[in-house]
Amino acid sequence: MNIDFAVFQFINQFAGKLHGVDQIAVYYSEYGPLLFGAIVLIIWFADRSRQTNARQAVLLAIASVGVALLLNQIIGQLYFRPRPFADHPVTLLLAKSADPSFPSDHATGSFALALSMLLFYRRRVGYFMIVLAALLGLSRIYVGTHYPLDILGGNLTAALGVFMMLGLQRRLMPLLHWIVQKVNLMEAKLLKKSI
């Protein structure tokens, strides 16, 4: 038995035994990405003190997620790893999925947003989101849909996406600044019309 499956079994063995924990894990595993989206929207709209910087950070984060998820698609075409339930008896708390197990898109998206907020926005927000991303990855193992290496692989593709954007950040700043200014003007016009 390999370490990846041993860790999976250790975490998944608790599934189906505590109804309350199961419900939380299922809910967070399915809807956790919406929490990350909500945090990013709050940063976009609420941070008036650093609005331009906050919005540029959000745009870089979204681009990072896009690049990382594109990497996942490429990896999934080159290497198809079946889900844990396809090869082993597991306690599965979610509907079966036919897409590749490696790397985890949930882990990729959440970790890319978290790491982006750490590097492009505020460290405190980034660290908080990294904890949320780790919990999301843990929940995906708990509910029986991913192995630990799927989560780690998702985190690595997320990091690649973020570091690619970090490398391009200086070149992208004029474009990001222009986009933010255009959005700010549109918002101002909409607010003026609604008053």
Q: Is residue 180 part of a domain?
A: no
Can you give the residue range of the structural domain that contains 28? 3-168
Q: Is residue 65 part of a domain?
A: yes
Q: Is residue 183 part of a domain?
A: no
Say how far apart CA 124 and CA 141 lie, in whole Å.
Answer: 26
Assign residue 144 a region (left: φ > 0; alpha: ψ between -120 and 50; beta: otherwise). left
Q: Is residue 186 part of a domain?
A: no
| Total number of domains in the chain | 1
Give rounded-to-5 percent helix, strand, coil for the chain.
80, 0, 20
Helix 19-46 with 51-78: angle, nearest 10 deg: 130
So what's the pLDDT on residue 118? 97
So what's the pLDDT on residue 191? 76
The answer to whether 104 and 153 are in contact (CB under 8 A) is yes
Q: Is residue 97 part of a domain?
A: yes
So what's the pLDDT on residue 46? 86
**Tokens coding 94:** 């979610």
pLDDT tens per residue across span 71-119: 999 999 999 999 999 989 999 999 898 899 999 999 999 999 999 999 9
| pTM (2 d.p.) | 0.92
Q: Is residue 53 part of a domain?
A: yes
Question: Block means of pLDDT (10 residues each) for the chain, length 195 residues?
Answer: 91 94 96 97 82 92 98 95 92 90 97 97 96 98 97 98 96 93 86 73
> Sign of the C-alpha dihedral, residues 43, 45, 47, 51?
positive
Q: Is residue 145 part of a domain?
A: yes
Q: In 3D, which of 31, 40, 29, 42 has the Cα closest to residue 63? A: 40
Q: Is residue 81 part of a domain?
A: yes
Domain CATH code at residue 135: 1.20.144.10
